[in-house]
Amino acid sequence: MSQTETNKITIGVSACLLGQNVRFDGGHKRAPYCTDELVNFFEFEPVCPEMAIGMGAPRKSIRQVKDGDVILLQSGDGKLDVTAEMKAFCDMKVEHLGHLGGYLLCAKSPTCGMERVLEYKPGTNNATKSGTGVFAKALMDRYPELPVEETGRLHDMVLRENFFTRVYAYNDWQQLKADGLTKHKLVQFHSRYKYLLMAHNQKLYRELGPMVANLGDDFARQADDYFRMFMQTLKHHASRRNHTSTLQHIQGYFKRALSKQQKAELTDAILEYREGLQPLLVPITLINHYLREYPNEYIKDQVYLKPHPQELKLRYGY
């Protein structure tokens, strides 16, 4: 199944971001982008670790306390400690989340924050923004390739596009594995992602090629190693320079088909994108237009041209 077809991918999400009243103060942190827009494209699976261990809402707030190398979850006065209960929940819950295609977390939460969570020194109000929510950490440790992001960071269009590119690519791989991964299918998968990988990180893209070319008897391990580097490559933000280089590579496939005027039109679109005068969508749209006029199956199959549904409007902003 193509990653751009209509079947909805399931994404885990902090329950408060969907407007559920599960916060310590009995409120929520509804993220309109999730509830008003993303809901049309994804199935959400909400989780609130603190509610899941029976803390209720409203409740006494908890925070991370770093005692040596140990992270404790305690109330500010230290009278409430839910460290053991939360660890038991995390150990149990993450084992049932292997079906997810991504996860959206609530920032600053002692359980769900992805980064910069406050870690307090025992018995003080002195803290550093050096922590990760305990549930978020358990999730990312268990599924290191799973695309994970905080909703607030999705206001940055580069971060937003990168996250959803990874979500659809991750889902594509999981579907491939579910259908039965073979060496031939892995080679085809890599071929379809050639230009997307090139746009994200050319050095890592060049390292992935030999991994595919040298698949041997230990295929399962090699496939896992390949996918680990594949997702690492996509995690790099695709730069304007790399996009320009990738577009010019694709342009080369049309050199015998396009008229002089069409070549000039495509060249201008790519250069205007490079200079920041046009969004990426402009040269991409023109290439797709020429593909309809002058079909090329290899280029048509490139995920780079449509890594996610156009309706998500992810290539308008840069």
245-293: pLDDT as tens digits: 999 999 999 989 999 999 999 999 999 999 999 999 999 999 999 999 9
Residues 270 and 301 placed together within one structural domain of the fold: yes
Q: What is the pLDDT of residue 315?
A: 86
pLDDT exceeds cutoff 80 at 4: no
- Specify the pTM: 0.94
168/58 same-domain check = no
Residue 184 lies in a domain: yes
Q: 302 and 314: one domain? A: yes
Check if the beta carbon of residue 140 is closer than 8 Å to that of residue 93: no
Helix (H) or strand (E) holding 105: strand 102-105
pLDDT of residue 317: 66
User: Do 133 and 240 reside in the same domain of the chain?
Assistant: no
Res. 5: pLDDT tops 50: no
Do 252 and 309 fall into the same domain?
yes
Confidence of residue 162 (pLDDT cuts 50, 70, 90): very high
Residue 225 in any domain: the answer is yes
For the beta sheet containing 9-14, the strands, ordered from the edge strand earlier in sequence to the opposite edge, are: 42-47, 9-14, 102-105, 148-150
Quickly state the pLDDT bin for 124 (edges 50, 70, 90): very high
61 and 131 assigned to the same domain: yes
Length of the chain: 318
Q: Which domain holds residue 237?
A: 157-318
Domain co-membership, 100 together with 142? yes
Domains held by the chain: number: 2
Whether 283 maps to a domain, the answer reads yes
130 pLDDT above the threshold of 50: yes
CA proximity to 160, closest of 299, 313, 20: 313
Do residues 150 and 167 share a domain? no
217 plus 132 within the same structural domain? no
Residues 279 and 316: beta-carbon distance below 8 Å: yes
Task: Enumerate residues 6+ apart whose C-beta is below 8 A from 285.
Answer: none
